[in-house]
Amino acid sequence: MKIVAITGMDLTKMIEQMPEDLKARSQFQWFKSSSGAEQEIADADVIVTAGRMNPDMMKLAVKLQWLQTLSAGVDKLPLQELAERHIVLTNARGVHTIQMSEFTLSLMLQWVRKANLFHEQKQNKIWSHHIQVGELHGKTLGIIGAGAIGEAVARKAKAFDMKVIGLNRSGDPQPACDATYSGEDGLTTLLSQSDFVVLLLPSTAKTRGFITKEHLALMKPSAFLINLARGDVIDEEALISALQEGSLAGAALDVFEQEPLPVTSPFWTLENVILTPHIAGASAHYTERASSIFYHNVRAFLDGGEMMNIVNLKEGY
């Protein structure tokens, strides 16, 4: 079996630590970009990518049977073409749970403890102990997209004595949530009750524009919104207006409709916005966690076993 990886991610450890039995039964080649991979891609049974696939490479990959992406999101991949060619797609769902849940709590603490303000005062050599800071204790956290990452966020939030409510498609109870809702009525309830709202939705045809201007209007003026999902799950113009007008207290945004975020975006200058460059899922252990999924799937592919994280190409996750 021939595996061709095309990604700028460092796969050195993934290749070196591959179990010996898999090494003996496969040929693994890694290219940091499409350049240079053209000669090898035609014979590839498997392609490994980090979430994007050059259309020209797809055309050359005439023997491709399985595509493994090292990202959880698959919205940048040619899902329709994969479906038409009956190519299996697996993702790295599950590798973000630890770092994204920690990041979510850090953002909430950064907001309530006014860390940005204290950093600014330090820069300006201002000593003032009259600043009033808040607490997470007793606050309500709403998790939109209450899956594996949401469950990890909920467990950590409960350690701060927060009430946690979740929203997912099924409405099935989540162990760490005090209540779990579904549908538009559930979304309305969650938005109106929450002091913090975190978005953890995948980007699919059904979730694009999921949070509208009308939804934002349901939130408390004191509420804080965190988007770690994708930029297109929320109406960015409506969000900017809400933040500028003060109908929403603040937001922490790691993802945007256009990335890198244009220098002309109002988000850069809004004082009530914490802005990060799509790094919520970053971790020094990322490749290690993704490798365990990949090794399992290589063995399953070779032996006819059950692969992990097979993506529903119609649904997009």
Tell me the fold of 97-275: Rossmann fold (3.40.50)
Q: What is the model's pLDDT at position 262?
A: 98
CA 203 to each of CA 70, 98, 164, 252, 262: distance values in angstroms, whole numbers, following the listed order: 16, 21, 23, 18, 21
Q: Return the pLDDT at 57.
A: 93
Task: At 39, list the tokens.
Answer: 């000669």
259 an active-site residue? yes
Q: For residue 180, count CB atoms less than 10 angstroms from its CB and return exposed for 0-12, middle for 13-18, buried for 19 or more.
A: buried
- Nearest alpha carbon to residue 239 among 143, 186, 252, 276: 252
CA 190 – CA 223 distance, rounded (Å): 12
The domain ranges of the chain are 2-95+284-303, 97-275
- In order along its 317 residues, the chain shows pLDDT tens digits of 999 999 999 999 999 999 999 999 999 999 999 988 999 999 999 999 999 999 999 999 999 999 999 999 999 999 999 999 999 999 999 999 999 999 999 999 999 999 999 999 999 999 998 999 999 999 999 999 999 999 999 999 999 999 999 999 999 999 999 999 999 999 999 999 999 999 999 989 899 999 999 999 999 999 999 999 999 999 999 999 999 999 999 999 999 999 999 999 999 999 999 999 999 999 999 999 999 999 999 999 999 999 999 999 999 99
Does the domain at 2-95+284-303 match CATH 3.90.1150.10? Answer given as no
* The CA-based dihedral angle spanning residues 267, 128, 136, 144, taken in that order and rounded to the nearest 10 degrees: 0
Residue 96 is among the residues annotated as catalytic for this protein: no
Asked whether the domain spanning 97-275 has the same topology as the one spanning 2-95+284-303, the reply is yes
Q: What is the pLDDT of residue 153?
A: 98
Long-range (24+ apart) CB contacts under 8 A made by 118-124 are none
Report pTM. 0.93
Give the pLDDT confidence score for residue 207 in this predicted structure: 94
Let me know: does 246 contact 275? Beta carbons within 8 Å: no
First-to-last alpha carbon distance for the chain, in angstroms, is 26
Active-site annotation holder among 85, 113, 155, 278: 278
What SS3 class is residue 247?
Answer: coil
List the catalytic residue out of 93, 96, 215, 230: 230
Are 174 and 166 in contact, with CB atoms under 8 Å apart? yes
CA 191 → CA 147, 220, 226, distances in Å?
Answer: 18, 8, 12
pLDDT of residue 191: 98
pLDDT at 181: 97
pLDDT of residue 206: 92
Q: Determine which one of 84, 259, 288, 315 is catalytic.
A: 259
DSSP helix/strand/coil, 88: strand
**Catalytic residue at 230?**
yes
